[in-house]
Amino acid sequence: MPANSWPEKDLEEFKSLLSDLSVEENSFNETLSGVSRPSRFKNRRRKAAIVLTIVWSSTIALHLVSWAYLFVFGLTTILGLHALVVFRARPRSYKNTIQGEIPFVSILVAAKNEEAVISNLVKALCNLQYPQERYEVWVIDDNSSDRTPQLLAHLAQKYEKLNIFRRKPEATGGKSGALNQVLPLTKGEIVAVFDADAQVTSDVLLQVVPLFEREKLGAVQLRKAIANSRDNFWTKGQMAEMAVDAYLNRARAAIGGIGELRGNGQFVRREALIKCGGWNEETITDDLDLTIRLHLENWDIECAFYPAVEEEGVTTAIALWHQRNRWAEGGYQRYLDYWDLILRNRMGMRKTWDLLAFAFIMYIIPTAAIPDLLMAIARHRLPILTPFSGLSFTVSFAGMFAGLMQIHREKRLRFSSYSVLLLQTLRGTLYMLHWFVVMSSTTARMSFRPKRLKWIKTVHQGASES
């Protein structure tokens, strides 16, 4: 269950547009724990509408001033230099052995109707290469209506370390609610979260836990890999997408920027999680929201390229559209929710700049594409934001190729191997064009629709069991 799925109630209307955008007066004196203030998560539609108005107006204005091209090329150069710094980054080095007492780890899996995959995951998690008395496994059955409860009951008889928590039908909060509900029952210094379709290596804890020797490290995200990457164009594209995502994620963290969580395969220091107030039940992407909360609390996040956590990729265009729209909406929500804390530089200059640069390329440019194209047609010239699009394409292409090379680092690459990687990169770049449509439509839709997307659960097929 990769994200929250409960329907949103109608948002409370404020009397003035300014009060929708601003936070309460005393919030400017709030502590960092104030990121959990409920008022933060209201009136996202109005905030999105204000941003849309500013972006569209600014784009149209650029077509009407003589110095527009100079401005665009100047900003593109600045962003390009930042991208160059990211590509030149060298990941931090960590000890690969645990120093001192072995930390206790709590592994959490939120599952709803996961009969096809839950048995394989539980078997893998209960047989990890880690002192058996130093970790526990919790599966939260979110009121499943298939055979998931029966399978879990059978597995609990076989594995003593397996703990099962069944939520009541009236329970709310989706995945975040499930994780928050079971968190007080766990005792791990490190809390790991996996989706039900995850496939992990037996040494995953031995590889990840030593990273937490660094005191400021609040979380670690495993690189995600697509288990069924050979199925079709869409799964092959997702394989390349995860490669560039992991490569840039790790590089951004290495320069002191924003490392990000991706839900499946996330490890969080309990102290950091508690300080952040747990998982946010008012968002549809708990991982992206927790990313911002951790950085606002001055914790760092690392991306571990090895080991990877495998998961099932969606196999149809429709399923991909629904999943990516949810990801885009959740990613955009975090900027609307925490904009004031971000602009007040609560994370520090490096992280703030990196986050804003990422937001500009990922959200602002796609949002500006429609007015830019319309004005270009009306004035018979190229879109004025073309340099930004070129930079985005270049970063995606280069990062994807570098990420794919990094994945195959242990193999001896020949000329034919580079040709295959280049072909995968070209195919992945073509596949990634869907993000432009998803981002632009999502940022516009959120300005007009008062409710979140209806979440459509990703169906996991699993492997046939003997």
How many angstroms separate the CA atoms of 462 and 466, rounded?
12
In a domain, 452, yes or no: yes
User: Which of these, 253, 245, 217, lies nearest to 331 by C-alpha position?
Assistant: 245
In a domain, 151, yes or no: no
∠375-379-381 over CA atoms, to 5°?
Answer: 95
Token pair recorded at residue 455: 């979440």
Mean pLDDT score, 430-443: 91
Quick one: pLDDT at residue 28? 34
Indicate the pTM of the whole model.
0.87
The sheet carrying 105-111 orders its strands as: 162-166, 135-141, 105-111, 190-194, 266-269, 217-226, 300-311
In a domain, 121, yes or no: no
Check whether 339 has a pLDDT greater than 50. Answer: yes
How many angstroms separate the CA atoms of 73 and 333, rounded?
29
User: How many structural domains compose the chain?
Assistant: 1
Quick one: pLDDT at residue 34? 60
Check whether 455 has a pLDDT greater than 70. Answer: no
Kind of pairing between the strands at 190-194 and 162-166: unpaired
Q: How far is the first Cα of the chain from the last one, in angstroms, to the nearest whole number?
A: 25
At 450, is the pLDDT very low, low, confident or very high (cuts 50, 70, 90)?
Answer: low
HSE toward the beta carbon, residue 330, CA cutoff 13 A: 28
Quick one: pLDDT at residue 449? 74
How many angstroms separate the CA atoms of 184 and 288, rounded?
22
Mean pLDDT score, 258-271: 95
In a domain, 85, yes or no: yes
Residue found under tokens 């109707």? 113
User: Which of these, 231, 260, 287, 275, lies nearest to 35 by C-alpha position?
Assistant: 275
Contact call for residues 185 and 165 (beta carbons, < 8 A): yes
Check whether 30 has a pLDDT greater than 50. Answer: no
At 459, is the pLDDT very low, low, confident or very high (cuts 50, 70, 90)?
Answer: low
For 96, the 3-state DSSP assignment is coil
How many angstroms separate the CA atoms of 118 and 46, rounded?
40
In a domain, 462, yes or no: yes
In a domain, 119, yes or no: no
Contact call for residues 73 and 387 (beta carbons, < 8 A): yes
How many angstroms separate the CA atoms of 346 and 292, rounded?
11
Contact call for residues 102 and 134 (beta carbons, < 8 A): yes
Quick one: pLDDT at residue 463? 52
Q: Residue 147: CB partners within 8 Å, gap ≥ 6?
A: 115
Residue 353: CB atoms within 10 Å: 17
Axis-axis angle for helices 68-87, 44-62 (nearest 10): 120
For 217, the 3-state DSSP assignment is strand
Lowest mean pLDDT across 28-32, 119-123, 128-132, 180-184: 28-32
How many angstroms separate the CA atoms of 305 and 249, rounded?
10
Using one digit for the tens of pLDDT, what is the confidence trace for 413-435?
A: 677 788 899 999 999 999 999 99
Residue 87 structural domain: 2-6+27-92+214-466
How many angstroms separate the CA atoms of 275 and 293, rounded?
9
Quick one: pLDDT at residue 270? 97
In a domain, 209, yes or no: no
In a domain, 333, yes or no: yes
For 161, the 3-state DSSP assignment is coil
Using one digit for the tens of pLDDT, what is the confidence trace for 143-154?
A: 889 999 999 999
For CA atoms 231, 233, 234, 240, the dihedral sign is positive
Q: Which string of b and e fits 419-451 if b means at least 16 CB within 10 Å?
A: eebeebbebbbebbebbbebbbbbbbbbbeeee
